[in-house]
């Protein structure tokens, strides 16, 4: 049995204490201030429900943002009944494509519309006629996709990447009457029929309500229960653990019916929802930028970006 003298043992102990945390991966490449600036810019447009003037302004802003960064920007349109009656509402998904020639692809997606009213506001008058800005519920995921578009070194690989913004996620005035997920349902139907920009999707990652100042992210129950999606969930949360991002908790807590459901049910795409459902300002007038966090946005963005890099490396290796 080999033995070490006391000075050698002391040197090893010191080296262990001074060694960097094995979970660390260097500084977060996501620009937290820039991402949060996008969130604020979107919120300055005011409420952005489907078919509204502010939504059209937002669409112009997003097309202008993605045009110089992505290889292609595609609008995908359909119409939906107006819950209040009158002319149908134009629903427009915006797809920013990277490496559009690649057959195998990944989706990172979010909804960019806001609910028409803050229906859960504790003030009954506000719930019936208030303004819903949707800083976390709508703008946070959109802002993160805007930020991810800058990281072209990760997006340019053997896998094609589609950053997809869904319209009509909650054009809902009455929960018992009005359907959710209009844009993602149309997207999934077109994909199923082969009437989409092209390629086959390996995975879809949905980000929703990811800027909560008190961020806690659990496995979403649908995402975890679907056998084809569970490896995706595990990969994302393991990535967070490797990066030392402790806000990702590897256990289930909430079940969320969200845009990933039609992607999985109709499009048969393994689809995961990264969502913080413990948000006290959900569907209230207080869902505004001051209750959101640039740090939270950056942490989620780092996990998604590192996951994309790992998927690109795996595809390049032929696995």
Give CA torsion, residues 123, 129, 134, 137, to 10 deg.
Answer: 70
Tell me whether residue 16 is in a domain. Answer: no
Q: Which two tokens stand for residue 265?
A: 């049910």
Tens of pLDDT along 146-177?
999 999 988 889 999 999 999 999 999 999 99
CATH for 76: 3.40.630.10
* pLDDT score, position 154: 87
Cα radius of gyration (the chain): 21
Tens of pLDDT along 6-56?
333 333 333 333 333 445 568 999 999 999 999 999 999 999 999 999 999
Tell me whether residue 2 is in a domain. Answer: no
Contact call for residues 159 and 106 (beta carbons, < 8 A)? yes
Domain span holding position 185: 23-316
Return mean pLDDT, the chain: 92
Tens of pLDDT along 185-244?
999 999 999 998 889 999 999 999 999 999 999 999 999 999 999 999 999 999 999 999
Output phi, psi for 101, to 5 deg.
-75, -15
Tell me whether residue 194 is in a domain. Answer: yes
Q: Which two tokens stand for residue 85?
A: 């009656």
Tell me whether residue 68 is in a domain. Answer: yes
Place of tokens 């690109």: 312
Tell me whether residue 12 is in a domain. Answer: no
* pLDDT score, position 285: 98
Tell me whether residue 124 is in a domain. Answer: yes
Tell me whether residue 298 is in a domain. Answer: yes
Contact call for residues 239 and 306 (beta carbons, < 8 A)? yes
Judge whether residue 294 has pLDDT over 90.
yes
Closest CA to 153 of 273, 306, 51: 306
Tell me whether residue 249 is in a domain. Answer: yes
* pLDDT score, position 306: 98
Number of domains in the chain: 1
* pLDDT score, position 24: 53
Contact call for residues 92 and 76 (beta carbons, < 8 A)? yes
């Amino acid at each position: 049995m080999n033995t070490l003298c006391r000075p050698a043992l002391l040197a090893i102990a010191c080296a262990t204490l001074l060694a960097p945390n094995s979970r660390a991966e260097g500084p977060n490449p996501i620009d937290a201030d820039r991402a949060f600036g996008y969130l604020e810019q979107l919120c300055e447009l005011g409420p952005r429900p489907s078919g509204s003037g502010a939504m059209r302004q937002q669409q112009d802003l997003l097309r202008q943002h993605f045009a110089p960064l992505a290889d292609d920007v595609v609008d995908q349109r359909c119409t939906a009944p107006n819950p209040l009656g009158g002319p149908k509402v134009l629903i427009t998904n915006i797809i920013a494509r990277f490496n559009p020639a690649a057959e195998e692809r990944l989706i990172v997606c979010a909804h960019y519309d806001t609910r028409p009213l803050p229906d859960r506001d504790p003030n009954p008058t506000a719930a019936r006629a208030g303004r819903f800005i949707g800083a976390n519920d709508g703008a946070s995921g959109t802002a993160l996709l805007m930020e991810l578009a800058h990281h072209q070194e990760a997006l340019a690989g053997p896998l094609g990447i589609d950053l997809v913004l869904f319209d009509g996620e909650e054009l809902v005035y009455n929960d018992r009457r009005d359907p959710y997920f209009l844009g993602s349902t149309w997207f999934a139907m077109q994909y199923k029929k082969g009437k989409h920009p092209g390629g086959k999707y390996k995975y879809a990652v949905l980000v929703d309500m990811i800027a909560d100042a008190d961020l806690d992210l659990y496995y979403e129950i649908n995402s975890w229960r679907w056998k084809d999606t569970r490896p995706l969930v595990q990969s994302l949360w393991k990535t967070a653990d490797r990066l030392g991002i402790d806000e990702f908790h590897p256990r289930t807590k909430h079940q969320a019916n969200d845009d990933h459901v039609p992607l999985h049910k109709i499009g048969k795409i393994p689809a995961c929802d990264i969502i913080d459902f413990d948000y006290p300002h959900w569907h209230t007038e207080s869902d505004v930028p001051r209750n959101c966090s640039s740090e939270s946005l950056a942490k989620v963005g780092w996990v998604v970006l590192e996951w994309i890099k790992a998927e690109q490396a795996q595809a390049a290796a032929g696995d």
